[in-house]
Amino acid sequence: MLNLSLKELSLALGSKKFTSVELTQFFLNRIKKFNSSLNAFITIDEEKSLAMAKKSDQLIQSGSKSCLTGIPIAQKDIFCADGWKTTCGSKMLENFIAPYNSTVIKKFNESGAVNIGKTNMDEFAMGSSNETSYFGTVKNPWNHDCVPGGSSGGSAAAVAARLAPAATGTDTGGSIRQPASLCGFTGLKPTYGLVSRYGMIAFASSLDQAGPMAISAEDCALMLEVMTGYDNKDSTSINRKKQNYTNCLDEKIEGVRIGVPKEFFEDTLNPDVQKVVQEALTQYEKLGAKIINISLPNNFLAIPAYYVIAPAEASSNLSRYDGVRYGYRTKEYDDLMDMYFKTRQEGFGDEVKRRILIGTYVLSAGYFDAYYLKAQKIRRLIANDFKHAYEKCDVILGPSAPSVAFNSGEKQEDPLAMYMQDIFTISTNLAGLPAMSVPAGFIKDLPVGLQLIGNHFEESKILNMAHVYQQNTDWHLHKPKGID
């Protein structure tokens, strides 16, 4: 059960090699064994998961199963799941039981997948190391002294340590790809608007996008098929024909033009990571792809623009946590204003407060034009860079993160160093493009991820590129020591 792909699990369930209840119990036992050291999950509810598995077994019995029926999936604790505690990694929502399903959860439920638990994450998805979680840090299964990346760090540790066959994540500036890179598995951030944001707790609404985190590109393709689709409950959901992503795998990559941006290989990149990426490029060349040198001249502005736009949106989104409607309320207060102040002071962590401060500042009269509007203009320039690049190439390739996993605590006191983790991922969020991280090698015992960026709605293309690479390499099949 431990080493089977989603497709193989589905076939085994269909041919009654084992039941969903048995499979779910197997992963619940693994969670019991490893979660005390990894801290990957915030909520585990055996009874609920097993009840879902039982239902899935009935579906399988009745012959009405689809590709994920009966398969346990770990869900990032940012997705509202009816009856489940949904904390978003914050004290503010420590005891919040979601009264409805997010669209992502609803789609997994309808497919008959089993929710195996809610995973740890940076508070309100703000972070690159999972160290801002109210529920404690998450360990990187490859080396417990290192961070798993963030903000989807719990999902990342869960997939890397095989505590679940696959998981969901969200990516506002890199939170699927950077942890996928640091923990050695495959993760995909879809085109903005492809996956509904309804019921996904908002961080920066114009950037947030949910996606799959799994062992292989094929597994990600299967998950994506379940997750996508138009949703009239999300005003930015895009109404286009649903695609079959698994059908497009195994296409020849001969003649595919891979754009390599020179800005991704400057001094911000660790030389050993650069070597791994170069080796992957050589591999692609052997497979018949053509390498084209391109430029994304405004990439260096991505982080400053993001840290104006994302906090601006966050400060607005987080104004709902006022101690009145739901979530945490301070115990003692004098009057309404005092209650607001104390609730927010006690309920939010430092990083969240920092973002609220920046956000309200850049949106305030007098500074709006200088910061927020300027950042939006830069966002357009960044999107145009990609538009021009795609006139010359079919996909873009580079590193996912500037380094391998770093030590816990190493960047905690230095927010700017932490923000630099997303130097290669943020521009795609600003442009709304799909991108993935694919395991491509190791530095010492720590995994390195390769990033593939597609044009809008070209998930199939990057999934195929990743799949063909994985048919010719086995980096994605390596497992951390001691997890068997």
Residue 98 is classified by DSSP as P
How far apart CA 104 and CA 109 sit, in angstroms, is 9
How far apart CA 5 and CA 38 sit, in angstroms, is 23
Choose one: 79-87, 123-131, 327-335, 409-417; the region binding ligand GLN (CB under 6 A): 123-131
Which one of 141, 174, 199, 449 is in contact with ligand GLN (CB under 6 A)?
174
Single out the residue of 28, 27, 25 nearest to residue 2, CA to CA.
Answer: 27
Evaluate whether 88 touches 121 at the Cβ level (below 8 Å).
yes
Which one of 24, 101, 151, 168 is in contact with ligand GLN (CB under 6 A)?
151
Instruction: Report the residue number, 173 or 441, with the smaller CB distance to ligand GLN.
Output: 173
Single out the residue of 175, 66, 173, 190 nearest to residue 129, CA to CA.
Answer: 175
Minimal distance, residue 171 CB to ligand GLN, in Å: 5
Does 422 contact ligand GLN by CB under 6 A?
yes
Residue 310-349 contact track with ligand GLN, rule CB under 6 A, x = bound: x---------------------------------------
Minimal distance, residue 167 CB to ligand GLN, in Å: 15
Which one of 35, 103, 133, 175 is in contact with ligand GLN (CB under 6 A)?
175
Choose one: 23-31, 166-174, 269-277, 279-287; the region binding ligand GLN (CB under 6 A): 166-174
Minimal distance, residue 306 CB to ligand GLN, in Å: 7
Query: What tokens appear for 62 in the block?
Result: 């009745």
Choose one: 48-56, 153-161, 170-178, 395-403; the region binding ligand GLN (CB under 6 A): 170-178
> Scanning residues 202 to 221, which ones bind ligand GLN (CB under 6 A)?
203
Give the 3-state secondary structure of residue 429: helix
CB neighbours of 343 closer than 8 A, spacing ≥ 6? 321, 322, 323, 328, 329, 330, 333
Instruction: Report the residue number, 292 or 303, with the smaller CB distance to ligand GLN.
Output: 303
Strand intervals (E) in 126-273: 166-170, 186-189, 210-214, 257-261
For 270, phi and psi rounded to 5 degrees?
Answer: -60, 130
Does 111 contact ligand GLN by CB under 6 A?
no
Does 165 contact ligand GLN by CB under 6 A?
no
Q: Is 175 a catalytic residue?
A: yes
Catalytic residue among 102, 133, 151, 437: 151
For 54, phi and psi rounded to 5 degrees?
Answer: -60, -45
Choose one: 21-29, 126-134, 280-288, 456-464; the region binding ligand GLN (CB under 6 A): 126-134
∠477-480-481 over CA atoms, to 5°?
125
Minimal distance, residue 356 CB to ligand GLN, in Å: 13
Does 112 contact ligand GLN by CB under 6 A?
no
Does 155 contact ligand GLN by CB under 6 A?
no
Which one of 126, 147, 163, 356 is in contact with ligand GLN (CB under 6 A)?
126
Minimal distance, residue 189 CB to ligand GLN, in Å: 8
Choose one: 101-109, 121-129, 228-236, 382-390; the region binding ligand GLN (CB under 6 A): 121-129
How far apart CA 476 and CA 472 sit, in angstroms, is 11
Instruction: Report the residue number, 270 or 330, with the smaller CB distance to ligand GLN.
Output: 270
Minimal distance, residue 29 CB to ligand GLN, in Å: 31
Strand order in the sheet with 114-119: 41-43, 114-119, 72-76, 166-170, 210-214, 186-189, 435-443, 446-453, 395-399, 257-261, 290-294
Which one of 131, 171, 218, 234 is in contact with ligand GLN (CB under 6 A)?
171
Residue 332 is classified by DSSP as -
Minimal distance, residue 418 CB to ligand GLN, in Å: 7
Which one of 28, 80, 125, 258 is in contact with ligand GLN (CB under 6 A)?
125
How many residues in the shown chain lie near ligand GLN by CB under 6 A?
Answer: 14
Choose one: 26-34, 111-119, 169-177, 460-468; the region binding ligand GLN (CB under 6 A): 169-177
Minimal distance, residue 314 CB to ligand GLN, in Å: 9
Sole residue written with tokens 């990957």: 40
Does 172 contact ligand GLN by CB under 6 A?
yes
CB neighbours of 111 closer than 8 A, spacing ≥ 6? 66, 67, 68, 69, 226
- CA dist 347 to 98, 340, 343, Å? 18, 10, 6
Minimal distance, residue 315 CB to ligand GLN, in Å: 13
Sole residue written with tokens 């102040």: 341
Single out the residue of 263, 251, 260, 253 nearest to residue 281, CA to CA.
Answer: 260
Choose one: 54-62, 100-108, 120-128, 456-464; the region binding ligand GLN (CB under 6 A): 120-128
Residues forming beta bridges with residue 140, ordered by sequence position: 143
Query: What tokens appear for 452 in the block?
Result: 């593939």
How far apart CA 324 and CA 332 sit, in angstroms, is 14
Q: How many CB atoms lie within 10 A of CB 435?
A: 30
Does 45 contact ligand GLN by CB under 6 A?
no
- Catalytic amino acids? 76, 151, 175
Q: Which residues bind ligand GLN (CB under 6 A)?
A: 125-128, 151, 170-175, 203, 310, 422
